[in-house]
């Protein structure tokens, strides 16, 4: 039985705006039914990549596919598989959310859209007022309803929680989890690193248009330093025998050090000492992200 194509695949994708870099030599693929986070600061190439995937920008070189379809040569077919939320949503201000939903479904040839009603209820989206009367957060909710209305196989979301309050952000993340459980693939960019840490299986980190890392969140954490804090009696622990250990501070019979390596070796080392307290702090995704950025900048 033939292997189904990747929901999303980039091969050495490069986009320049004249002499200015967008993205360079970007190669990655999303797995079916995964949430893949696309991380990087402003100007790193996230929006450029998503616009190329939607056929809104032609690549300078390289290729991209969605569901096995070439995004440049088969753009109409590609759009049937995708729910796209741009980072700068523009909606007809004189129309209500309900009118925009009917219009979007009619353009797609979709008669019934039960998922749209489910999403609107989950987000508490106001669909019966004109867009111009809505707050920024409520406009974002309406845009998300339109994005998911036709029950697409792949979601391309550029900063989907932008402008939302914390409760609405949580509601959006729960919706994305539901999409994953229903077998959908989600590719979303974000500056809120906690979002990616909470719902993503893997993350892509970009720096200045180039891929810095594509890895699972768990493996990223495993490679990073842990911060260990101990309270002791008598002699302070000697951590020189541990892999890549660095003492951060020591005072009042307490010390903290950063260490990488096997936790069992750490515990074997520390059990030789008279400890009164021990905490091991795992690195956050933000710390991992910043660490990769510092290394890429060297």
pLDDT of residue 192: 74
Give mean pLDDT, residues 220-237: 86
Task: Give me the residue spans of the domains in the chain.
Answer: 8-220, 225-282
Report which DSSP code applies to 154.
Answer: E
- What band does 285 get if pLDDT is binned at 50, 70 and 90? low
Global pTM value: 0.82
User: What CA–CA distance (Å, rounded) separates 91 from 119?
Assistant: 18
pLDDT of residue 1: 59
- What band does 30 get if pLDDT is binned at 50, 70 and 90? very high
Q: Which position has the higher pLDDT, 292 or 281?
A: 281
DSSP 137-151: HHHHHHHHHHHHTT-
- What band does 194 get if pLDDT is binned at 50, 70 and 90? confident
Lowest mean pLDDT among 95-104, 190-199, 209-218, 273-282: 190-199
User: What CA–CA distance (Å, rounded) separates 232 from 277?
Assistant: 7
Q: Does domain 8-220 have CATH number 3.40.50.300?
A: yes
Find out whether 274 and 234 touch, Cβ atoms under 8 Å: yes
Q: Which position has the higher pLDDT, 80 or 226?
A: 80
Give mean pLDDT, residues 14-19: 94
H or E segment to which residue 193 belongs: helix 193-199
- What band does 295 get if pLDDT is binned at 50, 70 and 90? low
Report the chain's mean pLDDT, rounded to a whole number: 91
Report which DSSP code applies to 132.
Answer: G
pLDDT of residue 266: 87
């Amino acid at each position: 039985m033939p292997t189904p194509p990747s929901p999303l695949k980039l091969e050495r994708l490069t986009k320049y705006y004249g002499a200015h870099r967008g993205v360079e030599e970007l190669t990655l693929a999303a797995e079916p039914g995964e949430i893949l986070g696309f991380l990087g600061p402003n100007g790193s190439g996230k929006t450029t990549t998503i616009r190329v995937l939607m056929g809104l920008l032609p690549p300078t070189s390289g290729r991209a596919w969605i569901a096995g379809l070439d995004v440049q040569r088969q753009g109409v077919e590609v759009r049937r598989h995708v729910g796209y939320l741009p980072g700068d949503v523009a909606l007809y201000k004189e129309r209500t959310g309900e009118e925009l939903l009917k219009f979007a479904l009619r353009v797609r040839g979709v008669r019934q859209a039960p998922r749209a009603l489910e999403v609107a209820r989950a987000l508490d989206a106001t669909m019966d007022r004109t867009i111009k009367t809505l707050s920024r957060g409520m406009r974002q909710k309406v845009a998300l309803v339109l994005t998911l209305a036709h029950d697409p196989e792949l979601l391309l979301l550029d900063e989907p929680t932008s402008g939302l309050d914390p409760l609405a952000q949580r509601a959006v993340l729960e919706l994305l989890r539901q999409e994953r459980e229903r077998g959908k693939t989600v590719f979303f960019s974000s500056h809120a690193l906690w979002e990616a840490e909470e719902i993503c299986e893997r993350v892509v980190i970009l720096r200045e248009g180039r891929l810095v890392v594509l890895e699972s969140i768990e493996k990223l954490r495993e490679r990073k330093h842990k911060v260990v804090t101990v309270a002791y009696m008598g002699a302070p622990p000697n951590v020189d025998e541990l892999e890549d250990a660095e003492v951060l501070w020591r005072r009042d019979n307490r010390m903290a050090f950063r260490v990488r390596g096997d936790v069992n070796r750490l515990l074997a080392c520390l059990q030789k000492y008279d400890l009164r307290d021990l905490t091991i702090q795992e690195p956050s995704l933000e710390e991992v992200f910043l660490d990769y950025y510092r290394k890429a900048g060297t």
